[in-house]
Amino acid sequence: MRIIRACRELGIRTAALYSDADAGALHVRLADEAHPCGPAPARDSYLRGDRVVEIARHCGAEAIHPGYGFLSESGDFADACEAADLVFVGPPGDVIRAMGDKVTARRTMRAAGVPIVPGADERLEDGEVAERCEAIGYPVMVKASAGGGGRGLRVVRDAAELAKALPRARSEAASSFGDDGLYVEKWIENPRHVEIQVLADAHGGALQLFERECSIQRRHQKLVEEAPAPRMSPALRTAMGDAAITATKAIGYRSAGTFEFLVDAEGAFHFLEMNTRIQVEHAVTEQVTGVDLVQAMIRIAAGEPLELRQEDVRIEGHAIEARIYAENPDKKFLPSPGTITRWQEPEGPGVRVDTGVEAGSEVSVHYDPMLAKLVVWGRDREQALDRLARAADDFQVEGLHTSLAFHRRLVTHPLFRAGTYDTSFIPTHWPTT
């Protein structure tokens, strides 16, 4: 939906894909044309890169925008688009692969002089994992080298936990990414998760559009993001932005991308990973900078240089995004599939809702349960928080459980209101989740 609207403003026609489960989805109706791509399971439809390319060529498309899921971070799919004379709206395949493999990404960032979390810069066999953990010192993170999103990741506090965690981490990595490679990093206790948005063109131009705070997480999955980050000093903002630009140029990046960092209690930041795509939380950056990131991606893919200079980019006000999931926050965020019988979005000044559902939509078990992104903007953080509280109350959904109940409680919590939270917030204050 977001990409289609950006294209319409640019005068670009769109062709949507849909699985059998999505035949009645909003994006199918909004696009200029739509084409079936297979059965409900993603592996038989949206993840079939060959079929996506075939449909694109058949309908006469010039470019493919992969969104932020499924094939968006597949270097092989980017290569397949290029081979079919289709423009992939994203970075080159070799860059996606380099940043998608976490071990290679760590080596690249270290070589570029970007601070990284202490740990291994190579894939490790089980015996090597144990040796490296002893050398680094517990606690550590055992992580999938091909992974992301918290899958294939285990926090290990001693050798006994490691023996149990290794087979589980390898199994989860293999099932999620088709690759059971593991490496280890030092576990930083209670960090903040802060990321930097970048844009880069094919002419050597690169911009950083400041930071987003993403520390409200559950099992390494983000639930709330805001821009700018609370407790962000001008010196730290400059240092992190400079590091992101250095890294962007070092890898020859093109398109929109995000560098994710952990910020420790002393204020030092460490590279965590890079997302070589547009992110779910891009809306908060758009709200405070006025830059349409999706349109920028399309213009870059068309060969245009960046329109802005770094000194043109400013932070205006404060934006917060709440991800609304079909989950029950009172029962450990269990999925809540079903039919939406009522869908009433909030309105008013500073309120934006990005969604792909409506009343009557069927929320299946086949895909991610995110229903919408509730984004608010205010002249400062206090006004943004007040607007989030009001908008969350006004947002009415019936027919299934949603995470709105969680967001309504969160926005009144004193630590969240004060902006003094870190990644331990949910485990500490919602320990049953």
Which CATH number goes with the domain that contains 143?
Answer: 3.30.1490.20
- Which of residues 96, 131, 166 is at a domain's end? 96
Q: What is the dihedral angle through the alpha carbons of 389, 391, 392, 394, rounded to the nearest 10 degrees?
A: 120
**pTM to 2 decimals?**
0.92
For residues 27 and 4, is the Cβ–Cβ distance under 8 A?
yes
Is the confidence at residue 347, as pLDDT, over 70?
Answer: yes
Question: Quick one: 38 and 64 in the same domain?
Answer: yes
Question: Quick one: 13 and 67 in the same domain?
Answer: yes
Is the confidence at residue 432, as pLDDT, over 70?
Answer: no
**Residue 412, CB half-sphere, CA atoms under 13 Å: how many?**
8
pLDDT bracket for residue 175 (50, 70, 90): confident
**Could you give the C-alpha distances from 368 to 139, 269, 292, 316, 323, in angstroms and in order?**
31, 30, 25, 32, 12
CATH assignment of the domain containing 325: 3.30.470.20
Domain of 36 in residue numbering reads as 2-96
Question: Quick one: 178 and 249 in the same domain?
Answer: no
Average pLDDT over every residue of 283-289:
98
Catalytic residue IDs: 277
CA distance 272 to 102: 9
- Which of residues 133, 158, 186 is at a domain's end? 186
382 belongs to a structural domain: yes
Question: Quick one: 318 and 197 in the same domain?
Answer: yes
- Which of residues 40, 62, 96 is at a domain's end? 96
Segments of 187-333 assigned E as strands: 192-200, 206-218, 221-227, 255-263, 269-275, 318-325, 327-328
Sign of CA dihedral 180, 65, 314, 286: negative
Average pLDDT over every residue of 237-250:
97
248 belongs to a structural domain: yes
Q: Helix, strand or coil for residue 106?
A: helix
Is the confidence at residue 172, as pLDDT, over 90?
Answer: no
109 belongs to a structural domain: no
Q: How many domains, the chain?
A: 3
43 belongs to a structural domain: yes
List beta partners, residue 373.
Answer: 323, 354
Average pLDDT over every residue of 313-329:
97
φ, ψ at 148 (rounded to 5°): 175, 175
DSSP state of 119: B
52 belongs to a structural domain: yes
Question: Quick one: 259 and 404 in the same domain?
Answer: yes
Q: According to the model, what pLDDT value does residue 260 have?
A: 96
291 belongs to a structural domain: yes
Average pLDDT over every residue of 59-82:
96
Question: Quick one: 22 and 161 in the same domain?
Answer: no
Question: Quick one: 265 and 402 in the same domain?
Answer: yes
The token duo for 109 is 């960032």
**Could you give the C-alpha distances from 87 to 11, 262, 392, 394, in angstroms and in order?**
17, 34, 39, 41
Is the confidence at residue 149, as pLDDT, over 80?
Answer: no
Average pLDDT over every residue of 13-30:
96
For residues 39 and 45, is the Cβ–Cβ distance under 8 A?
yes
pLDDT in tens, 182-231: 889 999 989 999 999 999 999 999 999 999 999 999 988 899 999 999 99
Question: Quick one: 325 and 424 in the same domain?
Answer: yes
With a pLDDT cut of 90, the percent of the chain lying above it is 82
The token duo for 333 is 């965020």
Question: Quick one: 290 and 365 in the same domain?
Answer: yes
Q: Helix, strand or coil for residue 236?
A: helix
CA distance 336 to 334: 6
283 belongs to a structural domain: yes
